[in-house]
Amino acid sequence: MLLDFILPAHDRKLIPEGRLSGPMPWVIAIMLFLTLLVAASGLALADAARKGGQDLARQATIQIIETDPAQRAAQRAAVSRALRGFDGVESVTPVADSEVRGLLEPWLGNGVIDVDVPVPALVDVRFTSAPTRQMLNDVQRSLRNVASDLRVDAHSSWMAPFFELMNALVWLAIMILFLLSVATAAVIVLAVRSTLNTHRGTIEIMHMMGGTDLQAARLFQRRVGLDALLGGVAGFILAAAVIITLGDRFAAVEPGLLSGVTFPVYGWAILALIPLAVVGLAMLMARFTVITALKKIL
């Protein structure tokens, strides 16, 4: 099929090709621009879900409920020391009371905390690998000897709905990619049929001179392939500009969930393959459409 791009010059003149003034390159550019944006969104979400899931699966928070501030601080220090002695614990970070108050003030208001509502002491724990539920239960039972009223919360449990949403969005992106591919194929078929009707007289003369359906199909393949290539380059450049700009915006977001959404490096290789796939799809659809139509009208 690649040989269709090196047809003799006298054959290529039979059907005009590769002109940016025609609608076909621009239609493909728009379709490919949308396709690349959807693909980039799906890749970014999938990468963020994978990295975030792996990181959160290794983290847990110890909550110590104690009304007396002095006892609470002492239990937090004792729990931190005990955690550092557990196998599989990578790091232990006691959370300062000021940070806990900062988290609660938007919900409870300033002045209520420590007066009517005791502030829990928090200790963040990072494991070397994702702990099992049995391991977390063992840690909680062991720490009961240090602080009687505490709870171990795995980060993956309360973040699970968020990552389920991200996975659902990835599947939605895949469905949209499929629909865009079908729409692109339909646009190519309509464009080829329109061009075929326009140059029907030329095709009939070719047949009278001994030309075959395959030779005619190769002419249309070349035209559609070049149009798809021009549109693919334009669509890729526009999509790359948008992806880079949005990536800078996400990077400027304060640390949080959105700041972890970045476009993976390997994603650029995948995006670069999409325009080539569209060119191949366009040429295949052109060959199929032309050969099928010529069998009916000639």
- Domain regions of the chain by residue span: 2-53+160-297, 66-148
> Residue 64: beta bridge partners?
121, 150
Query: DSSP code of 113?
Result: B
Residue 3 predicted with pLDDT over 50: no
Answer yes or no: are the C-beta atoms of 240 and 32 closer than 8 Å: no
Q: Report which residue type is found at 103.
A: L
Please report, to the nearest 10 degrees, the dihedral formed by the alpha carbons of residues 264, 268, 274, 280 taken in order.
-140
**Alpha helices, H only, the chain:** 9-12, 23-56, 69-84, 97-108, 133-143, 155-198, 200-208, 213-251, 265-297
How far apart are alpha carbons 125 and 86 in whole angstroms? 11
Residue that the structure tokens 């070397």 belong to: 128
Q: Give the pLDDT score at 2.
A: 44
Span of 17-21, 160-164, 165-169, 224-228 with lowest mean pLDDT:
17-21
Banded model confidence at residue 7, pLDDT cuts 50, 70, 90: very low
User: What pTM was estimated for this model as a whole?
Assistant: 0.68
Q: Does 66-148 carry CATH code 3.30.70?
A: yes
Banded model confidence at residue 4, pLDDT cuts 50, 70, 90: very low
Contacts of 153 (CB under 8 A, 6+ apart): 60, 61, 62, 63
Residue 92 predicted with pLDDT over 50: yes
How far apart are alpha carbons 116 and 5 in whole angstroms? 79
- When mean pLDDT is compared over 30-39, 82-91, 276-285, the highest value belongs to 30-39
Residue 282 predicted with pLDDT over 60: yes
Using DSSP's 3-state secondary structure scheme, residue 122 falls into strand
80 versus 6: which is more confidently predicted?
Answer: 80
Banded model confidence at residue 21, pLDDT cuts 50, 70, 90: low
Using DSSP's 3-state secondary structure scheme, residue 18 falls into coil
175 versus 285: which is more confidently predicted?
Answer: 175
Q: Give the pLDDT score at 18.
A: 47
pLDDT digits (tens, 9 = 90+) for 232-262: 899 999 999 998 888 776 655 554 555 556 6
Q: Give the pLDDT score at 10.
A: 45
